[in-house]
Chain A
């Protein structure tokens, strides 16, 4: 009891402005089970969430129940079905791992609770300056409706035992594919990874990439995507299975790299290759690398639906995910291998040392290898891009 008071006092000292609020939140959250709807296709993430649940229940009496999704949109559909049925409170979804189009869609339809990010004590470790990576999700302003928890950045992966010099640009990739037909593919474009691959190519090939930051228009789309389609038409016949079918998602594609069905794959997580080697899911010779002009990066968030039954618990979880110790653990390649979303400049020396002491691996690309981070185009581009792709290439 005294310990709890002490902890509360420390927290209060750390952020005096919202002390009482946050204490209320902690008190209300105690004993709650947070149903966190998160993509369940990655065992590392699932284990990390299980660990977080144990840590949270020991510290705050909050437990997490992961609702494993095949696709994030399942949770969105569920909230819509609940709204359709008039379930405006005590909904079944407490928290969603979300970003991009799903976030835009929920935000537009008023399906989100918030803004709540500023109320989280650990938000002070974030760079929340206007326009910073943590405040914009696919160019859509976050406005406090979702809280960051892990960093994603597009990388290409390959098996160095089979490919000595991987192509470092989209144009080079086309040449490589023409020399090695059938040895490369991308995930289905209906999957975010496949769409990201197209976006990455679009940024590189568009005559003027700056138009991608504004909502799409017919003229802008025609002008920007002309070279992309030309490039893709040349690439497609050289893809695995002649580009007639695609792996469902990046995980399946990673499995194909492991099976030797393809030589080059991709990921939205620079550490995933090192972590996969660690888990026996890729050969020790697998490597990840960035592209010459830089690659797309974004942040994964957690959001709370408007009708969530355990909003306080969800906020406690969101806050816990921003804790420097949690973020350091997430970045550990033996655990999750997900880059931190915190602003390194806002960390104290002790916390910085914690990050510096993390284990490393030859499959973990250095910052130079990763190159600069390109911002996501406006979500309307992705929707239009995948629609037009489907029209062009679906029989």
Chain B
């Protein structure tokens, strides 16, 4: 058998993942940690001390920043999970379900920064919504003095995170539902007198949740440590911890790098603490859930809750779509002042000049995205095929290993990693950026590809083996063609993740590698929404293009194969 071969293949991939992904993160953390305890010879700090920590806790606003991070991170994740579950429950089994997962594409593909810029303009007191209802409905000839963006509570940030995270959780959830006989269990539950919504919560959710638990942690970790979106939508005085850390790293006072490193470690603790808190809440919820299930209440009242959740989810998607549309409008605007609902003057000047910068950023982004995605997809195939050939189940630790880059906050190890890369003479080039991005692209590709790969009907593989096909031919001639759609979907997701990377590109590219995202975030610190609009549109359109390709290519290739054209994607 091919067991030994599979084990070797998996070992090889494991080695690559450990050396290429895990080791850099650990060394990065190590370097950050040294700086957090006083060692950074470059600025003359050479003795171990706790001074950076003492300094950190005297920095103004640190307590509020910590609280703000925890609150926005936990609240957005919990809400996103509730909304995604409610929406899933409401649309499951409905014939339009497949279309929904397609509509998710643009929102999944649009990078956080682009969406944040669009949402900021949408909900600002002088934003698009206010412009559409002013002055006729509101009487506002000038924008009102209310904080709808950058509010002290971080509500705008929570909203922005929701727009991005609900579609992601929905996608993951719809994927996981494929592994559960949902319809049969729904019927069984309803035959026992339970309402649809209650069956979802009591029966389906407890089975789906373990399957999406790691992605939920990823969402939580991301929400606790997001930088770009928090700069654009979050409060500024004080900001959330991650933004404060970034500010201190780049402050004029270079001695702040030491407390900044301490804060970067603290950011890692915040994420660990957040996840711990979440796990405790899981335990409580499981216990409460069992108690609730044993009570046997049929809970017909859950229906309105589902309608509420679906309504909120639809509003969120509408907000996301409007955010993308307002960016597109800005990109062809000349002047657009309050309270006009649409621009007074139009101009396509910036689109007509790719030489002004977006042309090269576009090409740069495409090259990095394609390379990174190719590496990640090949690695993922090697990993999964290795598991198949060795006849192994996914080990828990391996799963955590893959997810590690997504669970450890970027800011905690990127500065240290940069120092490591510099020492190895690797920085400032495309190579370093591709490597750093692959750290984050690979896990997402694995998330997207694992379930369809394992859902593949094993009998087909056995049948081809019985027909004399060797392992390589089984992979190339049977598995990959059947899995074409999920493969392309995984690649599209990987590409989108690559396009959205901000901090890794910034740190590893030494600022020389200008992608659409780094340019868009930089430009969002300027006043020209029209230019920002162009970059943000490109940022959203580029990954969207790959989504569309992922959608239509398999449909075209398999146009005469009904069994494959529907697709598990």
Q: CB–CB under 8 A between A and B in the complex? A: yes
Q: Is the CB of B511 within 8 A of A68?
A: yes
A109, B59: Cα distance in complex, Å: 23
B510 contacts A by Cβ under 8 Å: yes
Binary flags per residue of B528-557, CB closer than 8 Å to A gives 1, else 0: 111100000000000000000000000000
Q: How far is the CB of B316 from chain A (nearest CB, A)?
A: 24
B345 contacts A by Cβ under 8 Å: yes
Q: Which of A248, A391, A394 contacts B525 (CB 8 A)?
A: A248
B150 contacts A by Cβ under 8 Å: yes
Binary flags per residue of B503-517, CB closer than 8 Å to A gives 1, else 0: 000100011101000
Q: Is the CB of B528 within 8 A of A43?
A: yes
B78 contacts A by Cβ under 8 Å: no
A41, B60: Cα distance in complex, Å: 27
Instruction: Name B145's closest neighbour in chain A (CB-CB).
Output: A182
Q: How far is the CB of A6 from chain B (nearest CB, A)?
A: 32
Known contacts A80-B42, A85-B423, A391-B60; is-contact A254 B523 (Cβ 8 Å): no
Binary flags per residue of B50-85, CB closer than 8 Å to A gives 1, else 0: 000000000111001000000000000000000000
Q: Is the CB of B250 within 8 A of A74?
A: yes
Binary flags per residue of A182-226, CB closer than 8 Å to B gives 1, else 0: 110000101000000000000000000000000000000000000
Q: Is the CB of A280 within 8 A of B345?
A: yes
B92 contacts A by Cβ under 8 Å: no
Q: Is the CB of A241 within 8 A of B525?
A: no
B303 contacts A by Cβ under 8 Å: no
A306, B523: Cα distance in complex, Å: 29
Q: How far is the CB of B246 from chain A (nearest CB, A)?
A: 9
Please give, as numbers and ranges, the residues of chain B lying within 8 Å of A67 by CB-CB distance: 510-512, 514
Please give, as numbers and ranges, the residues of chain A lying within 8 Å of B43 by CB-CB distance: 80, 84, 109
Instruction: Name B143's closest neighbour in chain A (CB-CB).
Output: A261
A321 contacts B by Cβ under 8 Å: no
Q: Which of A40, A84, A162 contacts B40 (CB 8 A)?
A: A84
Q: Is the CB of B237 within 8 A of A76?
A: no
Q: Is the CB of A69 within 8 A of B422?
A: no
Q: Is the CB of A394 within 8 A of B61?
A: yes
Known contacts A69-B522, A83-B42, A109-B44; is-contact A245 B511 (Cβ 8 Å): no
Q: Which of A41, A65, A190 contacts B523 (CB 8 A)?
A: A41
Q: Is the CB of A46 within 8 A of B61?
A: no
Instruction: Name A40's closest neighbour in chain B (CB-CB).
Output: B522
Known contacts A68-B522, A81-B415, A280-B334; is-contact A74 B511 (Cβ 8 Å): yes
Known contacts A41-B526, A75-B511, A251-B526; is-contact A259 B42 (Cβ 8 Å): no
Q: Which of B363-422 contact A (CB under 8 A)?
A: 415, 418-420, 422
A113 contacts B by Cβ under 8 Å: no
Q: Is the CB of B511 within 8 A of A78?
A: yes
A100 contacts B by Cβ under 8 Å: yes
Which of B143, B249, B251, B427 lies at the interface centre, i.e. has the most chain A CB atoms within 10 A of its CB?
B251
A260, B338: Cα distance in complex, Å: 7
A50 contacts B by Cβ under 8 Å: yes
Please give, as numbers and ranges, the residues of chain B lying within 8 Å of A241 by CB-CB distance: 145, 147, 150
Which of A43, A47, A50, A109 lies at the interface centre, i.e. has the most chain B CB atoms within 10 A of its CB?
A43
A261, B126: Cα distance in complex, Å: 7
Please give, as numbers and ranges, the residues of chain A lying within 8 Å of B249 by CB-CB distance: 77
Please give, as numbers and ranges, the residues of chain A lying within 8 Å of B236 by CB-CB distance: 188, 245-246, 248
B324 contacts A by Cβ under 8 Å: no
Q: Which of B416-474 contact A (CB under 8 A)?
A: 418-420, 422-423, 425, 427-428
Please give, as numbers and ranges, the residues of chain A lying within 8 Å of B529 by CB-CB distance: 255
Instruction: Name A104's closest neighbour in chain B (CB-CB).
Output: B252
Q: Which of B27-63 contact A (CB under 8 A)?
A: 40-44, 59-61
Q: Is the CB of B60 within 8 A of A394?
A: yes
Q: How far is the CB of A278 from chain B (nearest CB, A)?
A: 12
Q: How far is the CB of B505 from chain A (nearest CB, A)?
A: 12
Q: How far is the CB of A216 from chain B (nearest CB, A)?
A: 14
A387, B252: Cα distance in complex, Å: 13
Q: Which of B247, B254, B418, B528 contacts A190 (CB 8 A)?
A: B247
Q: Is the CB of B254 within 8 A of A80?
A: yes
Please give, as numbers and ranges, the residues of chain B lying within 8 Å of A260 by CB-CB distance: 126, 142-143, 337-338
B163 contacts A by Cβ under 8 Å: no
A331 contacts B by Cβ under 8 Å: no
Known contacts A42-B526, A81-B415, A259-B126; is-contact A92 B237 (Cβ 8 Å): no
Q: Which of B145, B231, B419, B525 contacts A240 (CB 8 A)?
A: B145
Binary flags per residue of A269-280, CB closer than 8 Å to B gives 1, else 0: 000000010011
A103, B521: Cα distance in complex, Å: 25
Q: Is the CB of B527 within 8 A of A258?
A: yes
Please give, as numbers and ranges, the residues of chain B lying within 8 Å of A279 by CB-CB distance: 528
Please give, as numbers and ranges, the residues of chain A lying within 8 Å of B510 by CB-CB distance: 67, 78, 92-93
Q: Which of B143, B152, B251, B345 contacts A245 (CB 8 A)?
A: B152
Q: How far is the CB of B458 from chain A (nearest CB, A)?
A: 50
A35 contacts B by Cβ under 8 Å: yes
A234, B510: Cα distance in complex, Å: 44
Instruction: Name A74's closest neighbour in chain B (CB-CB).
Output: B250
Please give, as numbers and ranges, the residues of chain B lying within 8 Å of A173 by CB-CB distance: none
Please give, as numbers and ranges, the residues of chain B lying within 8 Å of A93 by CB-CB distance: 510
Instruction: Name A181's closest neighbour in chain B (CB-CB).
Output: B145
Q: Is the CB of A69 within 8 A of B511?
A: yes
B193 contacts A by Cβ under 8 Å: no
Q: Which of B423, B427, B522 contacts A92 (CB 8 A)?
A: B427
A281, B64: Cα distance in complex, Å: 35
Q: Is the CB of A255 within 8 A of B61?
A: no
Q: Which of A271-327 contact B (CB under 8 A)?
A: 276, 279-281, 283
Q: Is the CB of A280 within 8 A of B335?
A: yes
Known contacts A43-B531, A84-B42, A390-B60; is-contact A73 B151 (Cβ 8 Å): no
Q: Is the CB of B334 within 8 A of A105?
A: no
Which of B142, B231, B355 lies at the interface centre, i.e. has the most chain A CB atoms within 10 A of its CB?
B142
Instruction: Name B45's closest neighbour in chain A (CB-CB).
Output: A84
Which of B143, B151, B526 lies at the interface centre, i.e. has the most chain A CB atoms within 10 A of its CB?
B526
Q: Is the CB of A390 within 8 A of B61?
A: yes
Q: Which of B139-175 contact A (CB under 8 A)?
A: 142-143, 145, 147, 150-152
A71 contacts B by Cβ under 8 Å: yes
Q: Is the CB of A76 within 8 A of B64?
A: no
A143 contacts B by Cβ under 8 Å: no
Q: Which of B254, B337, B423, B531 contacts A109 (CB 8 A)?
A: B254
Please give, as numbers and ranges, the residues of chain A lying within 8 Å of B423 by CB-CB distance: 85-86
Q: Which of A137-172 contact B (CB under 8 A)?
A: 162
A260, B145: Cα distance in complex, Å: 11
B519 contacts A by Cβ under 8 Å: yes
Known contacts A80-B42, A190-B247; is-contact A68 B64 (Cβ 8 Å): no
A86, B250: Cα distance in complex, Å: 20
User: Would you mind naming 18 contact pairs between A and B with Cβ atoms under 8 Å apart?
Assistant: A40-B523, A41-B525, A41-B526, A84-B42, A84-B43, A84-B422, A109-B44, A245-B150, A245-B151, A252-B525, A254-B527, A258-B337, A260-B142, A260-B337, A261-B126, A281-B528, A394-B61, A394-B237
Closest 5 CB pairs between A and B?
A: A85-B422, A41-B526, A84-B42, A182-B145, A259-B126
Given contacts A69-B511, A70-B525, A72-B252, 7 further A-B contacts (CB under 8 A): A50-B356, A73-B251, A77-B249, A85-B423, A183-B145, A245-B150, A259-B124
